[in-house]
Amino acid sequence: MKKGMVYIIGAGPGDIGLLTVKGLRCLHRADVVVYDFHLNAQILNYINREAEFIYAGKRGGYHEMSQEEINRALIDKAMEGKIICRLKGGDPFVFGRGGEEAEALAKEGIEFEIVPGISSAIAAPAYAGIPLTHRKYSSSFAVITGNEDATKPESTIDWAGLAKNFDTIVFLMGVKNIPNITEKLLQNGKPPETPAALVRWGSRPDQKTIVSTLGSIEAAAKDAEIKPPAVMIIGNVVKLRDNLQWYEKKPLFGHRILITREYSTDYEGLEELGAEIFEFPTIKIVPPLSYEQLDMTIDKLETYDWLIFTSKNGFNFFFQRLIEKGRDIRDMKGIKICAIGSKTAGMLKNYGIKVDLIPEEFNAEGLIKAFSQQNKDGLKGIKILLPRAGEAREIFPEKIRELGGFIDTPQAYRTVKPERHAKRLQRFLRAGRITLATFTSAATFNNFLEIVGSQAFGFLKDVTIAAIGPVTARAIEKAGLKVHIMPEQATIFAMVDAIIKWGKDVNTSMN
């Protein structure tokens, strides 16, 4: 059997935006992914869902797999002819043991590639507003492992050279060794008043930065209860943080936001303002069990006066089936088009479809009002086609029929509860690391309760909750929880705007 291929990929320090394009492409192709603990959980959602996941993480000193076991797993899977992605935090060749893994593969004649990642040595200081070099303050920097026992006689660190020859010194994984590190630097001539900083969980919502001096950083770390993972920066560049800190000033910094449907670009505004997205879809959009109803309406498409699309999903599934039946956009000629929301309307325009009506209110009541205004002579005899989800409300169709109109509502798609494991989400909720949860339908909320289990209600009690609209809000409140954020229009885009406004208001009140 032909041997497989191994990609040793650096995933960066945490912010998913720092994962490289090449790394993402490799993950899309993977048959097997061997991943570590210190990763943004969102990255796992971009991996081919058919891939085999092998957790090899290290947390709190506990190793899920030894390095020898990791090497063996990479070799064994490659021998099966598979494409393997070894996903590591930071950069695999910067204190990441990627070199050892590559050596093991080379020894077995297995092809591999290294996909560099952004090291926390660079990213954590940058997100804290500390440049490693600066024309006025630093012309050199060194990156040192903080794991080496600084007191051992056989230390390979040149402490005298380090203290005297580098303007900026960065220590990785050195929280437990801060006393030894500072002592060695002070003994070798580094002034105690040299500025020093610690950045924990750099580039994540949990980021915490403390600034002190070389002589006082140990006490400051204890007072602030700084624990691993953290990066220590020593040098005059630390003084620049007062003016250059940017990440921690973002209005949604510190927030990890749970979204219970698949990620879309509508959520980008939250990330741009400092939030981290935790994607955990509790519904999955799938085709209907039968196309019989939809096919019957497509066969008589020319008989309708209006065609309504309530979402991108409704249009995509309808249009796909239209094409599959040997028809195309020309068959929609003469039919007026109603789109719910500017995003849906925009997509239709991209297909060259003119939109005749966008209701001001994105719900059944708003639709009824819009159609009544659009048809001054009443709705009697008007024929409407509304391809939609199988679980949609009946308020609008019933009202149309009451007013003398005809409406067909074939199922174009349906939502199902995906099979998901909630262990990571439960851990984040339990630790208070999810600050805001969003729900875009009653189904996303109810499925969340079922997937997470009996503890779900307790987890959400202290979390800010955003609901897309009143129907979703009622389902949440019926369960005994409070809805804190609800937009005027029932769209994801409007909900994101409402969350941003909420975040800015919270920051203003705190300041």
In a domain, 465, yes or no: yes
pLDDT digits 0-9 by tens, 102-151: 999 999 999 999 999 999 999 999 999 999 999 999 999 999 998 775 45
The answer on 409 and 263 residing in a single domain is no
What is the residue-wise DSSP string for 210-277? Answer: EEEETTTHHHHHHHTT--SSEEEEESGGGGGHHHH--GGGSTTTT-EEEESS---GGGHHHHHTT-EE
Higher pLDDT, 160 or 341: 160
Beta strands at 388-389 and 336-339: parallel, antiparallel or unpaired: unpaired
Last residue of a domain, one of 365, 393, 415: 415
Out of 15, 77, 88, 173, the active site residue is: 173
pLDDT digits 0-9 by tens, 294-322: 999 999 999 999 999 988 899 999 999 99
Yes or no: say if 219 and 196 are a contact pair by the CB < 8 Å rule.
Answer: no
In a domain, 81, yes or no: yes
> Which pLDDT value is given to residue 58?
67
What is the residue-wise DSSP string for 43-91? Answer: GGGGS-TTSEEEE--EETTEESS-HHHHHHHHHHHHHTT-EEEEEESB-
Q: Using CA atoms, how far apart are residues 260 and 325, in angstroms rounded to an integer?
A: 33
| DSSP at 205 | T
pLDDT digits 0-9 by tens, 488-501: 888 898 999 999 99
Q: What angle separates helix 364-374 from helix 395-402, to the nearest 10 degrees?
A: 30
The answer on 411 and 296 residing in a single domain is yes
Last residue of a domain, one of 102, 118, 134: 118
pLDDT digits 0-9 by tens, 244-300: 999 999 999 999 999 999 888 889 999 999 999 999 999 999 999 999 999 999 999
Yes or no: say if 42 and 50 are a contact pair by the CB < 8 Å rule.
Answer: no
Check if 3 is active-site. no
The answer on 62 and 13 residing in a single domain is yes
Estimate to the nearest angstrom the gap between the alpha carbon of 126 and the chain centroid: 21
The answer on 346 and 489 residing in a single domain is no
> Which pLDDT value is given to residue 59?
60
Q: Using CA atoms, how far apart are residues 328 and 324, in angstroms rounded to an integer?
A: 9
The answer on 153 and 75 residing in a single domain is no
Out of 5, 15, 36, 91, the active site residue is: 36
The answer on 130 and 114 residing in a single domain is no
> Which pLDDT value is given to residue 136?
95
In a domain, 360, yes or no: yes
> Which pLDDT value is given to residue 152?
60
Task: Name the domain count of the chain.
Answer: 4
Check if 149 is active-site. no
User: Residue 332 maps to which CATH number?
Assistant: 3.40.50.10090
Out of 3, 58, 336, 369, the active site residue is: 58
In a domain, 250, yes or no: no
User: Residue 145 maps to which CATH number?
Assistant: 3.30.950.10
The answer on 470 and 407 residing in a single domain is no
Hey, CA dihedral for 227, 229, 233, 239, is it positive or negative? Answer: negative
Any residues with CB less than 8 A from the CB of 137 and at least 6 apart, and which? 167, 235, 236, 237, 239, 240
Last residue of a domain, one of 216, 245, 274: 245
In a domain, 251, yes or no: no
User: Residue 94 maps to which CATH number?
Assistant: 3.40.1010.10
In a domain, 297, yes or no: yes
The answer on 237 and 291 residing in a single domain is no
Average pLDDT over residues 76-96: 95
Check if 284 is active-site. no
pLDDT digits 0-9 by tens, 374-414: 777 778 889 999 999 887 778 889 988 988 999 999 999 99
Residue ranges making up the domain that contains 208? 122-245
Average pLDDT over residues 345-362: 89
> Which pLDDT value is given to residue 342?
84
